[in-house]
Structure formats: structure tokens, C-alpha cells
């Protein structure tokens, strides 16, 4: 498999509301820094390399980029990098951002945002990205929140005002999804999900039944989350990867995409070679026997 000749179209497409995107997208969280993401002392990335990765992503057919204003290091902002690399934006490019959490200029996390503060977060994303509206805004559920309906309602008002085109939610439960749908349509749900980490299976199923995109994060990193993958890979996964001449990361992405046509992958990287490999994962076809072997990893 020659990763350099495969584009994001190989995985097929799905819709975020009325916006058609290829199922392999790009997550911008790791662009601004090296090593563990979203920590105050993260080492800034190489600016030129980050811009190269973004432009290469679009060349490879990626038209769905996931970002946030709180994705930054001491010198780099993911939104500013996206703006610099890709503006004026291609007509088919969909930029998805998220609000709720925030960080102060030093990188330290701030307390939970109140509903009335979400407009400021939306406007900050607009400013950094150089847009007059945001394609999709996800409300990220914060720890300790009893309900997300008031916060979601504040975003629904901004959607009505024309600042936001579509709404999504992140880090939620099926009950959250049902509750916010009484307020405004939901086009996507983002939760941690991947091979061996399937607590979100009920949400995956609920989204499938309703035609809502499910967008897993940490599909490769698993429990390593912002640190990246840290545990040794199981033999079953190594065997499938060897059979396809692929990396275990590619097989993890391929397995995720096999979970349903409504699933969109957003792997992130600051490495151009890894970017091409992630895109190529969308062309990997796993056999029923391979899927059964990988399924056993979810039973352990």
C-alpha cells in the first residue's frame, strides 16, 4: 500500500448537517506543540512544519478539520496556524471547533465557563480563524456539570444569530444527546472511542439510528489520551497490521471506520509522513475474520 497515492476520499463521505465531508479528517490538537498536548509547559512545534502538514492535509483530500481556541502552546495556536496555512479557505473545507473549556494565556485551565461566556469563546474562534461564522461548534461537557442544556441553549441562540451553522456535543451521554435535541438539531457527537475502549458504544448506536455523525477522539492513543499511545500493542493487532503491511495505528483507524458509515475519524499529527499514513488507513479493508480477532480485544 503506497500511502502517498491514497486520498481521504478512499474512506467515503458523510454529512455534518448539510456539509459533506470525507470520513478521514484531521485533528489539530497536536499541531502547536511537541509531546503531551494541552499542558502549560508544552514545547512549541516547528511553525513551518505545522503549516506544511495542514496544506498537505488538504492536498490529500481532507476537508474536515477539528480544532479549538484552547489548542495552543507558548508560541503556537492551532487556529492561527490553520488561518495562515489555508486562508482563503477552500469552498469544501469544514472547520469544526469546540467551546466550554478554556485556558488562560499561561496555558492553565480555567474554571467551567458559564453559558453567558460562550459567546466570547465563539467570537475568539471566529477572530483566530478569520471567519464570519463557524461551520460547526461542539459544546464540550465539563466535569461536574449536572446538565448541558443551558449551555447548549446559549449556543443555539448564537446559531439563530448566524454566528454558527451547525451544533454538536462532546464528552456526553445518550441522555445528554436526547436532552439537547429538544433545543436544536445535533449534527455530530464527539467522545473518546477506539479499539479496546468502547464505553461510548451506546452513543455510536444512537447516532447511527439518527443519522448523526459520531467523531471519536483518541482512537489511536486510547488510554494514553493527550500523551499518545503508551502501552504495548496486543499480538492480535500486530498480526492484522503485519498482514496488511500497515502500522497498528492504521489498523486502529481502519477498525474505527468499520464501526459504521456515520463514523468520522480525526487523527492528528505534526508529522507529514504520519499524516499520509493516517489518510491511507481509510483504504484498508478488514476481513470478517480480522474484525472478529480484533473484537476479542474488547472482551479483555
Contacts of 154 (CB under 8 A, 6+ apart): 115, 116, 118, 119
How far is the C-alpha of 240 from the C-alpha of 235, rounded, in Å?
A: 9
Q: Contact 44/292 with Cβ under 8 angstroms?
A: no
Structural domain includes residue 15: no
Domain assignment present for residue 292? The answer is no
Which is nearest to 200 in space by CA: 184, 177, 228?
177
Residue 276 lies in a domain: yes
Q: Does the annotation mark 193 as catalytic?
A: no
Torsion sign (Cα): 38, 44, 46, 51 = positive
Examine residue 87 and state whether it is found in any structural domain, yes or no: yes
Sign, CA torsion 276/201/136/31 = negative
Is residue 2, in this structure, part of any structural domain at all? no
Residue 142 inside a domain? The answer is yes
Q: Is residue 298 part of a domain?
A: no
Element (H, E) at 213: strand 213-217
List the grid coordinates of 126. 471566529
Asked whether residue 243 is assigned to any structural domain, the reply reads no
Nearby residues of 290 by Cβ (< 8 Å), 6 or more positions away: 240, 243
pLDDT digit string (tens) for the chain, length 300 residues: 555 689 999 999 999 999 999 999 999 999 998 767 777 777 788 899 999 999 999 999 999 999 999 999 988 999 999 999 999 999 999 999 999 999 998 889 988 899 999 999 999 999 999 999 999 999 999 877 888 999 999 999 999 999 999 999 999 999 999 999 999 999 999 999 999 888 899 999 999 999 999 999 988 864 444 445 557 888 999 999 999 999 999 999 999 999 999 999 999 999 999 999 999 999 999 999 999 999 888 754
Domains identified in the chain, total number = 1
The residue from 26, 70, 71, 193 that is catalytic is 71
List, in sequence order, every residue forming a beta bridge with 64; answer none if it has no partner. 94
Instruction: Please tell me the distance from the alpha carbon of residue 130 to that of residue 124, in angstroms, as a whole number.
Output: 10
Amino acid at each position: 500500500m503506497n500511502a502517498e497515492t491514497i486520498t481521504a476520499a478512499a474512506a467515503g463521505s458523510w454529512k455534518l448537517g448539510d456539509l459533506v465531508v470525507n470520513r478521514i479528517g484531521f485533528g489539530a490538537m497536536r499541531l502547536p506543540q511537541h509531546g503531551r498536548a494541552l499542558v502549560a509547559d508544552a514545547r512549541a512545534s516547528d511553525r513551518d512544519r505545522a503549516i506544511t502538514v495542514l496544506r498537505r492535509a488538504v492536498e490529500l483530500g481532507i476537508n474536515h478539520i477539528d480544532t479549538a481556541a484552547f489548542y495552543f502552546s507558548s508560541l503556537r495556536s492551532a487556529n492561527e496556524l490553520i488561518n495562515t496555512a489555508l486562508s482563503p479557505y477552500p469552498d469544501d473545507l469544514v472547520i469544526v471547533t469546540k467551546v466550554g473549556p478554556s485556558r488562560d494565556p499561561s496555558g492553565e485551565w480555567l474554571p467551567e465557563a458559564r453559558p453567558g461566556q460562550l459567546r466570547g469563546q465563539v467570537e475568539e474562534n471566529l477572530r483566530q480563524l478569520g471567519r464570519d461564522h463557524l461551520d460547526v461548534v461542539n459544546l464540550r461537557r465539563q466535569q461536574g456539570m449536572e446538565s448541558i442544556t443551558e449551555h447548549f441553549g446559549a449556543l443555539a441562540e448564537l446559531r439563530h444569530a448566524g454566528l454558527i451553522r451547525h451544533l454538536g456535543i462532546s464528552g456526553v451521554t445518550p441522555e445528554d444527546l436526547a436532552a439537547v435535541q429538544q433545543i436544536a438539531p445535533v449534527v455530530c457527537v464527539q467522545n473518546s472511542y477506539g479499539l479496546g475502549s468502547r464505553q461510548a458504544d451506546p452513543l455510536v448506536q444512537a447516532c447511527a439510528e439518527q443519522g448523526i455523525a459520531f467523531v471519536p477522539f483518541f482512537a489511536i492513543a486510547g488510554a494514553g489520551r493527550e500523551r499518545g499511545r503508551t502501552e504495548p500493542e496486543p499480538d492480535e493487532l500486530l498480526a492484522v497490521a503485519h498482514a496488511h503491511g500497515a502500522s497498528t495505528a492504521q489498523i486502529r483507524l481502519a477498525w474505527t471506520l468499520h464501526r459504521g458509515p456515520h463514523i468520522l475519524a480525526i487523527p492528528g499529527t505534526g508529522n507529514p509522513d504520519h499524516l499520509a499514513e493516517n489518510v491511507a488507513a481509510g483504504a484498508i479493508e478488514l476481513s470478517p475474520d480480522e474484525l472478529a480477532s480484533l473484537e476479542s480485544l474488547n472482551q479483555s
